[in-house]
């Protein structure tokens, strides 16, 4: 990401996040994430994040813990305020929080609120300052859709992973067809322009995933996807039906994507 574009993106991102009421001066706010949003500003979003994390903690993480029988070295990519890294540290793992947003309330510097040190590094997805084969898991924490180039981002993650390692993509919007995601992105930029005075597209991130793209990434990178579908409740489950009845575009899905790189 070029420096001028990156600065503009971070300025726009900070403006939006402040307007949404992200972060808190109360350290307890961070300690209760993702299960509770003590500010009440973004409770619905955190409820989704909590269900995603609960599924991951119950159904995916134990498999790697049992297989390796040691603390895991984990990249928390797009870590934000490092809540996921803190949760992983509570399970005696070795997380490393990575983000380009270092805001003291909503970015990496918010990690000061946790009672144990969380290592944090400012870095971009495509240029990770870590040695090869150093991590067991690379978790894109509601962040993969910010990538400018999915292929390059995954190649960099693969470089950092050990041979038995895996990529996990959590809480990124996924559509069956690319045109549905394109409509979402257009709606989002229009909304931001009306609300904040800018479209929030200083950096041309991909913004969504779709099933043809997943298939192409699998073919191109020899990447096997395993799809996990957490239960987000009946209201979430009925969203596609309501969209169909009201003739709106299909909504996104929040699958957990578990990717393993196969030998070519």
Query: Residue 141: its pLDDT value, please?
Result: 93
| pLDDT recorded at residue 257 | 98
pLDDT of the residue at 21: 81
Pairing of strands 120-122, 94-99: parallel
pLDDT of res. 211: 95
Domains annotated on the chain, with CATH: 3-261 (3.40.50.150)
Residue 30 tokens, joined: 């961070």
Residue that is written with structure tokens 């001066």 in the block: 25
Whether the full predicted model's pTM is greater than 0.85, yes or no, is yes
Q: In the numeric block, which tokens belong to residue 78?
A: 């797009």
Q: How far apart are the first and last CA of the chain?
A: 30
Structure confidence at residue 190 (pLDDT): 82
pLDDT, tens digit only, all 264 positions of the chain: 557 777 887 887 778 788 888 889 999 999 999 999 999 999 999 999 999 999 999 999 999 999 999 999 999 999 999 999 999 999 999 999 999 999 999 999 999 999 999 999 999 999 999 999 999 999 999 999 999 999 999 999 999 999 999 999 999 999 999 999 888 888 887 887 787 676 666 566 788 899 999 999 999 999 999 999 999 999 999 999 999 999 999 999 999 999 999 976
In our burial notation (b when 16+ CB lie closer than 10 A, e otherwise), range 193-203 reads: eeeeeeebbbb
What span, in angstroms and rounded, lies between the C-alpha atoms of 15 and 189? 14
């Amino acid at each position: 990401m070029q420096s001028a574009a990156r600065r503009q993106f971070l300025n726009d991102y900070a403006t939006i996040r402040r307007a949404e009421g992200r972060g808190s001066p109360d350290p307890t706010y961070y300690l209760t994430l993702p299960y509770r949003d003590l500010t009440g500003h973004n409770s619905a979003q955190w409820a989704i994040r909590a269900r995603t994390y609960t599924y991951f903690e119950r159904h995916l993480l134990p498999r790697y813990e049992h297989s390796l029988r040691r603390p895991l070295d984990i990249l928390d990519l797009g870590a934000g305020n490092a809540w996921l890294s803190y949760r992983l540290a509570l399970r005696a793992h070795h997380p490393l929080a990575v983000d380009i947003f270092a805001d003291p309330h909503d970015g990496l510097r918010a990690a000061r609120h946790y009672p144990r040190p969380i290592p944090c590094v400012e870095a971009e997805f495509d240029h990770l300052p870590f040695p090869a084969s150093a991590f067991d898991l690379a978790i894109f924490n509601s962040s993969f859709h910010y990538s400018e180039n999915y292929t390059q981002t995954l190649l960099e993650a693969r470089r950092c992973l050990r041979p038995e390692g895996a990529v996990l993509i959590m809480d990124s919007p996924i559509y069956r067809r690319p045109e549905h995601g394109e409509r979402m992105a257009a709606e989002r930029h229009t909304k931001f322009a009306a609300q904040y005075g800018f479209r929030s597209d200083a950096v041309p991130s991909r913004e969504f995933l779709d099933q043809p793209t997943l298939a192409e990434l699998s073919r191109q990178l020899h990447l096997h996807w395993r799809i996990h579908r957490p239960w987000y409740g009946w209201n979430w489950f009925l969203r596609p039906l309501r969209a169909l009845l009201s003739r709106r575009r299909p909504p996104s899905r929040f699958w957990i994507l578990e990717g393993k790189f196969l030998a070519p």
